[in-house]
Each structure stands twice: as C-alpha cells, then as structure tokens.
Chains A and B, each alone.
Chain A
C-alpha cells in the first residue's frame, strides 16, 4: 500500500511515497520514488539479490517474482503499485525444497544460472495455477530468455513436474 508523503517537489524530481511491502513474509516500510521498480527495491534497498536485472524493460523475465502468487516482471512494476505479498526466489523455500527447485537440481537445468531465478519463479507460478500444464501452457508462461539455452531441460523438467 502506498501513501503520499511529501507534497511539494519541483517537477524534475519524482514523487516519493511511503510504501508497505511484505516480502517473503517480512513486512517493510519504505520511502521510495513513485516509479521505482520493485526489482530495484528488492535488490538495492532490501538486499535480496536473487532476483536479477537482464534488460530493465520487461523483455527477458530475469526479474520475475510473485506478487500475490502471480508471476510479475518486477523491473516494470513500480514498488508503490504492489498491493499483495511479494515472494522472491529467496522465499520460494528455505532449503531448496520447492518442487521446481528439486526438479531443476534433479535434471541439472541451469548453466550459468543468471536467468534461472526468473524461470523458476515463472514455473512455480504456472504450476500453482495449472498443476498439469501442457507444453503449450509452458511455452506461453515461460517466455524467459535463456542465453545459455537451457530450454530443452526446462521443457523436460516441466513435463516431469506435470506428471508428478
């Protein structure tokens, strides 16, 4: 929830708001610019660097987190517009026990790993809404870019998770 704090700023300086965010179960009260993306609040203000910056314009999906359980590209979502609890990769489980994390390790999905926080979060959100996704469901939900090309294993992992 966002509350307007300061009323008078010159037009070249953005409005600053008080925002209450719940991230991975912990409540935070922060004062941030109105348009500061959730990605940077997570990484630079809260120190949760598991969510990654790949493009900053919502094209690659590396910044994917959950807001109210839905997958959101946090680089294009202002933190002040967040109205539900946020889950990042750090909050998906405390011990890599989430089924997606387990399957990712079982099939050795990541290569460099940089995009994988975003892929895992997108996959987890999909499985929450669609426990048995088809290949087409997976392709529609997982538009993340992986430059190392782990797509074959992502596909295999999602098929295995759909069967489980």
Chain B
C-alpha cells in the first residue's frame, strides 16, 4: 500500500485555515519539509487527498481487521464529497492526534447519554486530550458518521468555491456531484482533480450542507469492499508480509510463567545453526535472529532456557476459580442499585439463586502477533498490524529512547484483531530487538507464543438471585459479579469511584423493568494479563443475565419470550428485535424430540440484538442447527458488511461458548494451539438467518454486539432440548451423549 507519512499531515496542519471541523484546526506545528511528492495530490483535509487525475485518496484512521472500515469510512466521506466511487482508494493514516478516537472517550464520559451543547463541547475537548487513535469499541463507523460526512461536504464546498472563483459566478449557482463541479444552466464543468490544488488553499465553509438520506447514492448500498480483491489473490499486505531491505527475522520466547524473567541460557547451539545472526536476551524473553523466520524458530527451539519464576505461589485454574467463587460471598462494590432488593427478596413468594462462571479466553487471531521495526538515528519505523497507532508509537519511542514525533507507524492489514492488537507489547518488543540488532527486524510469534502471551478475556463468576411474586412477576434482582479488572491496568482512575465499567457492562442498564435491583462487582486480581476481547464485559454478562432470566421465566411458569416481553416496559427497540427474531424463528411452534430453541436479547455498543438458537442433542452429541438473528444497528452504511459481521460474530460466540477455555497450571497457560484451544469448523456451522431492522437512528456498532447473546441463546436452547441448565462455560464435556 502506498505510504502516507506523518510529515504530509503536518504540512497540511501548517497550511490549513482554522475551521470548525476536526482536521481543520490543527494546532500549529513546526514546519517540515514535504515528503517526496507522489501522485496522491492535494490535501483537502486530514482524511482526503484529490489528485489531478481525479483519484480520491481517503486516509482511513481506523484499522481494517475484516470489519470493513476501509470501505465504510470512505463511503461516508465520498457520499458528501460527491465523487465517483470508482475513483476512491484507501491509505492507512499515520499516528497523529488528529485521528484520535474522540467518540469512544465521549461515550465513556457521557455514559452513552445525550449531552447538551456545553457538556458536549467540554467532553470533546477532554476527549481530544485524553483520547487515543484506536480502533475498538465498535466505534469506527459511529465515530466517523458525522465527522467524515462533514469532511466530505466541506471539501466539496472548497472545490465549488474554487470553481466559482475561476468562472466568476456565485457559489450558489454551482454544484458538485460525480466528481465534477458544474455551473447550473451552463456547459462549464471542472473535475475535482482539476480544482483540488486551488481548493486546498481556500477557507473551508463553516456549515456545509450534508446530503439527506433520500439523496444518498452510496450509504446504505452493499458496495463491494475495496480490500477484498487483494484478499483473494494473495497480494494484501498483513503485518507478517512486510519486507524491508536488510531485514532480519526474530523468533521470541517470553517466560511462560507470567511475571517471570529470563535466567541462564546457552546460545551456542543456536548460533551454530544456518542463517542465525544473533541470540538476544531481553528482561523476560529471548530472541533469536536469523535470515528467515523458520531458521529463527528452529534456532530458538535449540536453546536451552532457564526461566526464573516470579516470587510467591504460582497460580492455577483451580485456585483462580475458587477465589472467584469465594468472592461471590462478598457484598462487592455497587455498580447499580434501585429500590430495596433485600426487602423485596425477603418478601418474594418464590426465590431462586444460581451461580455462573466463565473461563479466561484467548483472542487467537489467525495472524500471529508480529511487528517489524527499524531504529535509525533520525527515527523509528514501525510496520505493524495494530488497532492502536498512538499507543504503539509511544511504546516504540520508549523502547528506542526517542520521542514520539520521531516514530512513524505504518499500519498494515490485520489478520484479525478482536481487541488483541490494541496492546503495545509487540511494539515494545520489536523495537527493543531492532535497536539491539542494529538492523530492521520482523518479530513473529509462534502460535504457541501467541496463545500463551495474550491479554485474555477475564475469567468471571456471578451469583444471581431473583424474587418473584405470586403472579410470577420479577420483583427483585440481585447480581454479584467477580472478575479481574482490565481498567486497573489500562486506566486506573476509571476504577477509583466506581467499579470497572468494562467488568459490569451489560449487567447494568438492563432494559427489563425490575423495581428492586442491585448489581455489584468484586475485583479479584491474578497474575494473568487481561485485556479487551470482542465485546469485553458483555461477553459474559449477557451469558449470566440472559440465562438467569430464562431460569426466572421457568420458575414463573412462563414462556421465556413472553416473560421478557412482559418485563421490557419502555424499550421499543429491544422489543422490536426480540419480536422479530422470535417470529422469524417460529418461536412457540413444536419441535421434534431432542430439539430445542433458546432466545437471548442483548444491547451493547449502541445496537440491539436478539438471537434464537435451535439445537439438536442426540446420540451423536450437540449440534447447533440454526441461529435466527435480528439486529437494530440504526442507520446501516453497508448492509453486506453488517451481515458478514453478524455471521462471523455467531461463529466467534459459538466457538467461545462451546469450546473456549484458557487454563493455568504452575503459573503458565496450558493451551498452545488449535488442537487444545479448538475453533468451530465449517462442518459445525449452523444456518444463519439475519433480519436487519430499518432505522433512521444514529448508527450503532456492529463488530461486537452480536457476540454476547450467542452463549445464552445456545444454553437456553440446550435447556429446552434437554432440561439441563448450563451455568458454566464452555459447554464441551457437560452434555453426556
């Protein structure tokens, strides 16, 4: 992919006039020389260049990991720019504050509630200060929806202004569409390419008009993804495919016990092997450099390494699970409370209680963790499949002993992300090794290394208690959660006043109208790194909540769908997806023996999803026959991408629910590959039927929201088919044939 450098963006910053729009009023910077000119053309703003030949280059600041942002984001910009879609191409943005994910911070600070103008302005300022350029939280389209359309409209305004000036006519008599500015009623036309250089020097319009939805030509269309051709012919460049002149390849083994360090090791055998250049000790890892990946791996395997365990007892799964269960006896920190739950429980006619638990989960993206780094006197180049450009740049700068403005981050395609690639550990490692090596180095982890050095989805336990009245109405809901805290590592201030929001999300702000409610959380820390895993806290709270709601329905003698609908109260969007999924799944009609349907409703990342899973349990075991999905994700930018994300999320969720478990022994992760951390295969794929609700609401996220309801829909279906409640994941091993 052609390079866009940070210097180009800086030049833009130095030259652009002040304006309302992000990317138009960048703080003044030191002027720098222009990078080698290329044919990308003039910057209209930080996301758009137009070349004389009318090529429209959209600078996409979010990582493409299969969720289609390299198409959806350009669609937003191109729509209001009014260019020909066939002219659009994409480059990855460098690391730069202008590309910060303001939306995510705003969402966190506002708690997802709408804000007044002043609050919005203030939060925006804070977001710009504290935000990061990061792809995650299902926020790329949500965050770009207004800004990129405005960026396109603003650029169109500048192009029109340039044409109007040239022709000596009022701007109001000109229009820009299909890549051309024309003058009403005349034959005068100028292409965007012809106008771009001039337009780039003009003041952006303050309040550009955005197209109305009924004028959209791109948004809402299932446009083929721009990156897919390269992904069917082998030419797409992932991080592992980067090739830099003089590059060495590094295989790395880090201490398998978390917190341990590198002890004695004998490099002699490795150094004698063909192509091996160096054996480099790091504090907690050993790197072997060679002239190809395999030689580095072979040589690493030939080194006998002694590791030094960290002090204290070494953790194992039994101890972790016991600790989490014991935590359920504690009151915990309140995350949400209403009414008087203790009193309501005491006064219920029927009480029920159940304990649930889930294990650590690995990300296991198909492309193993890797990065390529080159440390030179004038700066650091980092080629990396990353979700977090600025965090990576900062880590690289620290590792190289330089400043962030001397780091150039080149984002490649990602062979899966799922939250794993928002961590900077590989950036630190690759740059450290490259600096020691004095040459460019590509670090590629083995599959075992990747699986054993993850930032796992936390293990969690939950105790749920519900109280029903004589009519089977749910009066009281008490929920105690116990888990490690992700934000305790990433952003501790978020845990000072309230429990870690990422640990309780999905358990709080439930749409069910239950008068007496208490949700609390107890942190239990273990020396196992935890991080963001696709849908984060929702990945287990939906399992806990939607399974226990089913238990409450059973106790009330009510149908699970009717029970939920009866509780929904003022929640029209949730009601709509629930009813739609149920209707399309023929909920309530009879099934042959051994078959069962389970339903689950969950809202997350701005979207509402209902799933009905149908399973068959017979002598051969469990099979998932069909999943019917209904999703309300607001305005849909590209329906084909949404469909793909729904299908893929169901696979992701089923894999986790059926098989996923990371276990620990002696302080180290046991699992090391696809044989002991199994993945769903094609032969196990259920039929998926997807129904998308039409909506004019603001876009909701799509990358994560379908994952959470998969496990509860599955387990509720298993109950319907067998009468057995699954309260612990993974399912494997719990159903005897």
Query: With an 8 A cutoff between CB atoms, is B589 at the interface?
Result: no
Contacts of B272 in A (CB 8 A): 10, 12-13
A-contacting residues, B352-410, CB 8 Å: 364-368
The minimal Cβ–Cβ distance linking A78 to chain B, given in whole angstroms, is: 11
Contacts of A114 in B (CB 8 A): 238, 365-367, 415-416
Question: Chain B at the A interface: mostly helix, strand, loop or mixed?
Answer: loop
Contact of B240 among A48, A53, A110, A142 (CB under 8 A): A53
Query: With an 8 A cutoff between CB atoms, is B292 at the interface?
Result: yes
A62 touches B366 (CB 8 A): yes
A-contacting residues, B657-706, CB 8 Å: 673-675, 679-683, 685, 687-688
- C-alpha gap A60/B648 in the complex (Å): 17
- C-alpha gap A92/B372 in the complex (Å): 29
B-contacting residues, A37-66, CB 8 Å: 37, 39-40, 43-45, 47-57, 59-60, 62
Q: A89-B233, A110-B66, A112-B65 are in contact. Are A105 and B415 (CB under 8 A)?
A: no
B293 touches A44 (CB 8 A): yes
- C-alpha gap A108/B223 in the complex (Å): 10
Contacts of B649 in A (CB 8 A): 149
Contacts of A50 in B (CB 8 A): 233-235
Query: With an 8 A cutoff between CB atoms, is B302 at the interface?
Result: yes
Chain B residue, CB-CB nearest to A117: B234
Contacts of B243 in A (CB 8 A): 47, 49
Query: With an 8 A cutoff between CB atoms, is B229 at the interface?
Result: yes
Contact of A40 among B64, B293, B447 (CB under 8 A): B293
The minimal Cβ–Cβ distance linking A99 to chain B, given in whole angstroms, is: 12
Q: A45-B292, A113-B415 are in contact. Are A33 and B274 (CB under 8 A)?
A: yes
Q: A151-B651, A151-B682 are in contact. Are A55 and B673 (CB under 8 A)?
A: yes
B228 touches A113 (CB 8 A): yes
Query: With an 8 A cutoff between CB atoms, is B652 at the interface?
Result: yes
Q: A145-B681, A148-B416, A151-B651 are in contact. Are A108 and B368 (CB under 8 A)?
A: no
- C-alpha gap A2/B722 in the complex (Å): 58
Question: Chain A at the B interface: mostly helix, strand, loop or mixed?
Answer: loop
Contact of B231 among A36, A116, A145 (CB under 8 A): A116
Contact of A111 among B273, B644, B679, B683 (CB under 8 A): B644
B-contacting residues, A118-133, CB 8 Å: 120
Contacts of B415 in A (CB 8 A): 52, 112-115
Query: With an 8 A cutoff between CB atoms, is A28 at the interface?
Result: no
Q: A33-B274, A111-B66, A145-B366 are in contact. Are A151 and B292 (CB under 8 A)?
A: no
Query: With an 8 A cutoff between CB atoms, is A70 at the interface?
Result: no
B231 touches A152 (CB 8 A): no
Query: With an 8 A cutoff between CB atoms, is A155 at the interface?
Result: yes
B644 touches A120 (CB 8 A): no
Query: With an 8 A cutoff between CB atoms, is B227 at the interface?
Result: yes
The minimal Cβ–Cβ distance linking A89 to chain B, given in whole angstroms, is: 4
Query: With an 8 A cutoff between CB atoms, is B177 at the interface?
Result: no
Contacts of A155 in B (CB 8 A): 682, 685
How many of chain B's residues have a CB under 8 angstroms from any CB in A?
A: 69
Q: In this complex, which of A14, A40, A112 has the most chain B Cβ atoms within 10 angstroms of its Cβ? A: A112
Query: With an 8 A cutoff between CB atoms, is B413 at the interface?
Result: yes
B293 touches A113 (CB 8 A): no
A-contacting residues, B625-655, CB 8 Å: 640, 644, 647-652, 655
B292 touches A40 (CB 8 A): yes
Contacts of A110 in B (CB 8 A): 66, 228, 231-232
Contacts of A145 in B (CB 8 A): 366, 674, 679, 681
The minimal Cβ–Cβ distance linking A79 to chain B, given in whole angstroms, is: 10
- C-alpha gap A33/B269 in the complex (Å): 16
The minimal Cβ–Cβ distance linking A107 to chain B, given in whole angstroms, is: 9
A111 touches B67 (CB 8 A): yes
The minimal Cβ–Cβ distance linking A4 to chain B, given in whole angstroms, is: 16
A54 touches B447 (CB 8 A): yes
B685 touches A88 (CB 8 A): no
A55 touches B225 (CB 8 A): no
Query: With an 8 A cutoff between CB atoms, is B236 at the interface?
Result: yes
The minimal Cβ–Cβ distance linking B65 to chain A, given in whole angstroms, is: 5
Contact of A150 among B240, B295, B364, B648 (CB under 8 A): B648
B66 touches A113 (CB 8 A): yes
Query: With an 8 A cutoff between CB atoms, is A16 at the interface?
Result: yes
The minimal Cβ–Cβ distance linking B110 to chain A, given in whole angstroms, is: 31
- C-alpha gap A110/B227 in the complex (Å): 10
B647 touches A152 (CB 8 A): yes
Chain B residue, CB-CB nearest to A119: B682
Query: With an 8 A cutoff between CB atoms, is A146 at the interface?
Result: yes
A-B pairs with beta carbons under 8 Å apart, 13 shown: A12-B273, A40-B292, A50-B235, A52-B240, A96-B232, A104-B228, A105-B228, A105-B232, A110-B232, A111-B66, A112-B417, A145-B674, A151-B682
The 7 tightest CB contacts between A and B, nearest first, are A50-B234, A149-B651, A114-B415, A113-B231, A112-B66, A111-B66, A89-B234
On B, residues with C-beta under 8 Å from A are 64-68, 222, 224-225, 227-238, 240-241, 243, 249, 269, 272-274, 292-295, 297-298, 302, 364-368, 413-418, 444, 446-447, 640, 644, 647-652, 655, 673-675, 679-683, 685, 687-688
- With A52-B240, A105-B224 given, name 20 new contacts (CB 8 A): A33-B274, A40-B292, A44-B293, A53-B444, A93-B233, A104-B232, A105-B229, A105-B232, A110-B231, A112-B365, A112-B413, A139-B682, A145-B674, A145-B679, A145-B681, A146-B682, A148-B651, A151-B647, A152-B685, A152-B687
